[in-house]
A and B are shown apart, each in its own frame.
Chain A
């Protein structure tokens, strides 16, 4: 894995119970200072996987709390969430995740 200097790469895989109907990849946000890009894609494993690349190092604990809360609320299954972050605040992260999830087809229980 090639890793740019000064970039943290975080990987979380969490169980989920709500399988999402087939969907085209969803992209919200932009990679720019203080901003981030969130990409949702279908995946075959019945979990929700988060891959976070962030230019702001040392915030792993906050990212973990963010993705755990997200998955606790949405319990997605079969979704990969890729995040490219350029030092966004948690407020921006939450907004982008909310915008992305709103574009998903209604998850099946």
Chain B
């Protein structure tokens, strides 16, 4: 190599190690500020603000780990205590804005710019702050898209992450809720950045190493364990009979129809109903082993009966779920677990798995328009969509075949009148909604709120969660519209109207055209699918309460107290 270097024009060596020198300067400042309190990588919680002040510089891109489950909440609070006269104009990059502190940072002048994926609980406040010019939003991403940008043009200078435990060398045990941590740390540590982890406990030896200590600069034991949200728990007692009916239609009209073996479910009672019908209704149809064998899915408690009945071969998870730890540990054949026995989740890999290795995504939404575009964005809130756009889109780069994927692709190509196109499959993307949400809000609309929201917040695109061109089926209590079979935009519109019930969009249908679509199988009603409405009762659910789920797990599932209602 020496020879080659000599051949190159001689450059000032200092031009090529700015990152390394910057990193050393930051670490030196930290060492100075910690003084005698530094014990290797371990920093006392009382000095968290000091260490952050030492390593963060104005204008830095800072990744604050917060996703839809675990939150680096102690470090988030410490960040809000920085002196904005010294540290300002931070560019925050993070998966989820979940905590008040995440926005306090912008109010108190420490941060100015934001790139993120999802802001569920803070969506209304975020919208107000954007309107007031207090936050400059770069873009709203999917999870995978934001992780991707960490490796291209949004690499953090400092990452503040969250782990269950650390040892004194900085080895991290992220445990069941590993989630986003590997992606964040990889991008930061290998580009001269500083990684600081808050941990619930310091151990002499961690149960397994999820993040090697060599990639971590400081660990801080937080005074209280990090916040974690049981986001994927749905009490079966709240599943309605209409949801049972819709789940029956999904199983007969889509899962069985295409022989879907590999899939991802969104969060909600609608999908929980499907999960709880597998060992009952789907089993009675002889579908065991023919559908739903491999999953990209968090450990949903509603999956317990199906797992116990032997339906499930594998589940890879984005994150974990509070209370499912012991159950997962005891079902090592199904879940991805470490040598220590506990779950290993990984959002980046699971998002990739859901996008490329699943044949079906099914989820709910708040609004669907006449083209089948759907969005959960509503006026006055900027929320983003997390992983849904990646799960709910056709993977154009996919090159392996499966029967379900090929059948969907063939239907689409035939209907489009382009059978001469080179063959390819298509992912099944299903949006399931009741035609009216609570308070009689129609789920079908002529125009998504997303358009007005885009104007208000001066976004370059309307925030559409799943584009109509990616949606293959719309499922409501009135039936299934198979958009793969429509021949043109007019048919697409009438197929949407034809399952939109008594909403204004549904009432404005062309009845003759809708009947014609039904004759062609584009629209299928429950009776066309052989779904008997009399069976659509809660008795069809494999578990009807949280207690039933606990019993189905043999006592291994331990729901958080707020779900213990017996």
Chain A residues within CB distance 8 Å of chain B: 56, 59, 62, 65-66, 89-92, 94-95, 98-99, 102-103
Contact = CB atoms under 8 A, between A and B. Distances in A.
A90 B533 contact: no
Interface in B319-364: none
B534 A91 contact: no
B245 interface: yes
A98 B248 CA distance: 15
B502 interface: yes
Considering the complex of A and B, which 8 residue pairs feature the smallest CB-CB distances, nearest first? A98-B533, A91-B477, A91-B242, A90-B502, A89-B436, A91-B434, A62-B502, A102-B534
28 contacts: A56-B440, A62-B502, A65-B502, A65-B507, A66-B502, A89-B434, A89-B435, A89-B436, A89-B440, A90-B435, A90-B436, A90-B501, A90-B502, A91-B242, A91-B434, A91-B435, A91-B436, A91-B476, A91-B477, A92-B241, A92-B242, A95-B477, A95-B536, A98-B533, A99-B533, A99-B536, A102-B532, A102-B533
A56 B502 CA distance: 15
B243 to A, nearest CB: 9
Interface string B452-484: 000000000000000000000000111000000
Contacts of A56: 440
B242 A89 contact: yes
Of A65, A66, A91, which is in contact with the most chain B CB atoms at under 10 Å from its CB? Answer: A91
Interface string B220-248: 00000000000000000000111001000
A79 to B, nearest CB: 18
B237 to A, nearest CB: 14
A102 B535 CA distance: 11
B259 interface: no
Interface in B275-327: none
Given A95-B477, A98-B526, A103-B534, A59 B440 contact: yes
Given A59-B440, A102-B534, A95 B242 contact: yes
B241 A95 contact: yes
Nearest to B477: A91
Nearest to B478: A94
Interface in B400-432: none
Interface residues on B, range: 10 to 19
Contacts of A99: 533-534, 536
Nearest to A63: B502
Contact of B501 (A59, A94, A98, A102): A94
A40 to B, nearest CB: 14
Contacts of A62: 502
B34 to A, nearest CB: 59
A82 B207 CA distance: 65
A95 B502 contact: no
Contacts of B501: 90-91, 94
A89 B502 CA distance: 10
Nearest to B531: A98
A38 to B, nearest CB: 12
Of A59, A95, A102, which is in contact with the most chain B CB atoms at under 10 Å from its CB? Answer: A95
Contacts of B435: 89-91
Nearest to B476: A91
B247 to A, nearest CB: 13
B519 to A, nearest CB: 15
Nearest to B507: A65
A90 B533 CA distance: 15
Contacts of B534: 99, 102-103
Contacts of B436: 89-91
Interface in B501-537: 501-502, 507, 526, 532-534, 536
Nearest to B537: A99
Nearest to A91: B477
A94 B503 CA distance: 13
B307 to A, nearest CB: 29
A62 B500 CA distance: 13
A95 B241 CA distance: 8
A63 B434 CA distance: 17
Given A99-B536, A103-B534, 16 more contacts: A66-B502, A89-B242, A89-B435, A89-B436, A90-B501, A91-B476, A91-B477, A91-B501, A92-B240, A94-B477, A94-B501, A95-B242, A95-B245, A95-B533, A102-B532, A102-B533
A65 B509 CA distance: 13
Nearest to A87: B440
Contacts of B507: 65
A105 to B, nearest CB: 15
